[in-house]
Amino acid sequence: MLKLLAPAKINWFLFVTGVRADGFHDIASLFQSISVYDTLEFKKTGDATVFSPLMLESDLNIPAKDNLVSKALNILASHMKSHTLSEETTGEITIKLTKEIPAEAGLGGGSSDCATALMGLNRLLDLRLSVDELTELAAKAGSDVPFFIKGSVAMVTGRGEIVTPLISDASVALLLVKPPVSTPTPWAYKMVDKRLDRKFMAENRLLNIPALATQFIKTLSIRDFKTMGKLMKNDIEDAISADFPWINEIKGQLSDTGARASLLSGSGSTIFGAFDSKHKREQAQELLCKKYPDYWIKPADTLTTNSL
């Protein structure tokens, strides 16, 4: 049996830079993996290959065929058809997915599961695909999936498929707060189109994202929370906060309980606060759990370059 952890992520900043011909949006973002994980357990029987039936065990209330983990196997099978591997098999593959990362949270849970499935199946079935090959396949699965192949800190551009790994040895204490509501990604980007005009996106394209990412990594390393807070920005948060007053309410509560900065992660609905100590984070968690008993509130730490 092979057991792998699939980490969540946050976006330290997220700029929308345009709308593509295929309907997707171009972004420029700084991703970092965090210490909240789904777990995937892989087993095979007999002479199982990528063409074998997949048994997916999960507590998700969606059909297995619609799960990104199943999609990972389908993508691998399609890729391997061009090789000499025989499609005849008597074996079976079983993947048990245990969820900890909530859905529609802006934390990349489904994308991370898919990337981890690609990497796990590559090992389980001895496919010997390189990181670059896995990243190319990951881009076919979804916008954020390639990051989780290359993580743990990276500048992400295009629709999410262009990943430039960065080096960071600084771990930051975070508190994640997700209300019992969702902000679906397609709807969130519709709000971006409605409220942030093309001129705004064109101005974003003029930003020096590599320099901004480098500056942010430096602020992490020296724990300059004041500058970090100024650099943290999410265009999606700006576009949807008028519809969801709880965004600014939670950010205010995080600030009042000691967070040095806070931001909506991805398209939400999780908001994360950055703290300068784990002790202050624990105090904030206790207070916020009492105030919001029906919210998902979770401590996490950012994962450094060598921690995955």
Assign residue 13 the CATH number of its domain: 3.30.230.10
Q: Report if residue 42 sits inside a domain.
A: yes
Q: pTM of this prediction?
A: 0.94
Q: For 11-56, how does the pLDDT look when each residue is reduced to its tens digit (9 = 90+)?
A: 999 999 998 888 889 999 999 999 999 999 999 998 888 888 899 9
Q: Which residue has the tokens 């981890």?
A: 116
Is residue 306, in this structure, part of any structural domain at all? no
The last residue of one of the domains, among 165, 186, 210, is: 165
Looking at the fold, whether 67 and 160 belong to one and the same domain comes out as: yes
- For residues 50 and 147, the answer to whether their CB atoms sit within 8 Å is no
Whether residue 67 lies inside any domain: the answer is yes
Do 199 and 240 reside in the same domain of the chain?
Answer: yes
Beta strands in the chain (DSSP E): 2-19, 25-45, 54-58, 92-98, 153-158, 162-165, 173-178, 233-234, 261-264, 271-275, 296-301
The predicted-structure confidence for 256-290, as pLDDT tens digits, reads as follows: 999 999 999 999 999 999 999 999 999 999 999 99
The verdict on 152 and 178 lying in the same domain is no
Check residue 299 and report its DSSP letter: E
From 119, 136, 165, give the residue that closes a domain. Answer: 165
**Is 308 part of a structural domain of the chain?**
no
Q: Is residue 106 part of a domain?
A: yes
8 A C-beta contact, residue 146 and residue 81: no
Structurally, how many domains does the chain consist of? 2
- Which pLDDT score, from 0 to 100, does residue 59 have? 80
Q: How many CB atoms lie within 10 A of CB 284?
A: 24
Residues serving a catalytic function are: 9, 144
Q: Is the domain of 41 the same as that of 134?
A: yes
- Full domain range(s) for residue 11: 2-165
pLDDT grade, residue 83 (50/70/90)?
Answer: low
